[in-house]
Each structure stands twice: as structure tokens, then as C-alpha cells.
Amino acid sequence: MGENNDMEISRAMVVVAHADDAEWGCAGTVARWCAEGKHVVYVICTDGSKGTSDASMSPEEVIASRREEQEEAGRVLGLADVVFLGFPDAYLQSNLELRKAITRQIRIHRPDVLVCMNPVRNLDGDGYIDHPDHFASGDAAMGAVYPSARDPLTFPDLLVEEGLEPHKVREVWVMGRTHPDHFVDVTEHIETAVEALRAHRSQVSPEAADRHLKEWRRRDGARIGAEYVEVFKRFRLG
């Protein structure tokens, strides 16, 4: 248990289902990493095409606006890259196609740590049953880390045809509070995190972004005596 000790990390990848998931889950940590000069890449699995309650918008318009919002959030945070895998929103499955697509990105960007969503349906609380894309993305990301990215004979065309060498990810951090054992103090970066979340203006109002993002992190901060904290389940892979 405890705070940081992540100075040995120089490259990170955050894999999420939707544009805005990473901002809700780990924008403070990402802002901190970017401020420390680490190389951070986002991989957004879906195209965001269902993310509106406005039935007059076409899926293409929704895809374009959500992509722009995510790219703006990436600029606020200082990301090295944002990759859009483009799987249809709301239909994401943890299958071999998704696992291979994430494996490709791991081998291209070669992160020390991969941050992902909870790979199982969240049964905590009583007001939210979680989105199926979320745990599909988490499961596929963890399957890509181990063993697909590491093993040359898995998805062999990645090596043979695309020249992507195997890569061993050293740590996996699962976002959220289900089994938290790692706490990152994001107090100095909280305003950057809020600004990044506010970039998703089709999804959240500026006031709600500020209120919710700070409220959750303040609650977790109380656990270790810091003002704002983000929590993870951390795996150190041998």
C-alpha cells in the first residue's frame, strides 16, 4: 500500500473504451506523469458513435466531435499520442480482434506501465451497473499485456509482416476502487485534470466536471491524508 514510487516508469499507455473514460479515471495521474516528462499514450477502443442523447446527430458527427474532444484533452494533459482503434461504440467485446489491436499498440509504443479499466463488471454500490464496453476493454488490455505482447508466436503477423518486436509490459494498473492498493497524490495536477475532462463538452458540463472529478478524488485522498488522490490496483509483472 502507499504512495508513488513510480519514478522508474518512463513510458505509459492508457487503454480505455471511450473518449472521456481516461479523464474520469486517471487524468490527474496522467497530468502528473506528463509534467514529469513521461511519454504517455492513450488508446481509445471505440469510436464513440453512440455517445449522444441527441437523435438528430449522425453517428459520423458524434464520432468526429468525440474524437476532437479527446484530442483536445490530450493536448491539455501533454500526451504524446492518442490512438483511436475505431471499434463500434456499445458493441465492444473482449475478443481476439480487440486483443490483437491493443497488442499492436503495445508493441509500437512499448510502455513500462499499462493503465486499464476494471476487467469485470463492477458490483460495488447500488446505483451503477457499469458499461459493458468498459470491462471488455479492461479484459482485452490485460490479455494483450500477458501474454500476447510478450510472445512472438502470438499474432505472428505482427512480427513477421509488421516488424513489431515482442514487448514485456512491467506493470498493469487497473483504474478504480474495486481492489485499490496504490494511491497517487494528484493534488498539484487537479486543475489540469479538470480542464482535460471539461474538453469532453458533449458529455459533461464544466460545473459537473469540476464537482465530480474533485469529489471522488477528495474522498480517496482522505484515505492517505492527501487532498486529491487517484486509486489503482497495481500489478508488478515479473
Provide the grid cell at 87.
Answer: 471499434
With residue 45 as reference, give the H or E element that holds it.
strand 39-46
Grid cell 469532453 in the structure block, residue = 200
CB of 23 to Zn ion, least distance (A): 10
Answer whether 169's CB lies under 8 Å from 112's CB: yes
CB of 20 to Zn ion, least distance (A): 7
Residues in contact with Zn ion, counted by CB under 5 A, come to a total of 3
Residue from 142, 230, 153 nearest 192 by CA: 230
Which of 30, 149 has the CB closer to Zn ion? 30
Which of 21, 185 has the CB closer to Zn ion? 21
| Binding residues among 155-194 for Zn ion as defined by CB under 5 A | none
Residue 2 has a CB neighbour count (10 Å cut-off) of 8
CB of 18 to Zn ion, least distance (A): 4
With residue 14 as reference, give the H or E element that holds it.
strand 11-16
Which residues are CB-neighbours of 22 under 8 A, at least 6 positions away? 14, 16, 30, 42, 44, 115
Answer whether 114's CB lies under 8 Å from 106's CB: yes
Stretch that binds Zn ion, among 10-18, 71-79, 101-109, 215-223 (CB under 5 A): 10-18
Q: What are the angstrom distances between the C-alpha of 177 and each of 53, 225, 230, 232? A: 28, 17, 9, 7
Which of 70, 148 has the CB closer to Zn ion? 70
Does 147 sit behind a cis peptide bond, omega within 30 degrees of 0 on the bond before it?
Answer: yes
Stretch that binds Zn ion, among 1-9, 12-20, 75-83, 135-143 (CB under 5 A): 12-20
CB of 227 to Zn ion, least distance (A): 26
Which of 29, 203 has the CB closer to Zn ion? 203
Which of 138, 180 has the CB closer to Zn ion? 138
CB of 48 to Zn ion, least distance (A): 9
| Binding residues among 16-75 for Zn ion as defined by CB under 5 A | 17-18, 21
CB of 1 to Zn ion, least distance (A): 28
Stretch that binds Zn ion, among 11-19, 33-41, 60-68, 161-169 (CB under 5 A): 11-19
Residues that bind Zn ion (CB under 5 A): 17-18, 21
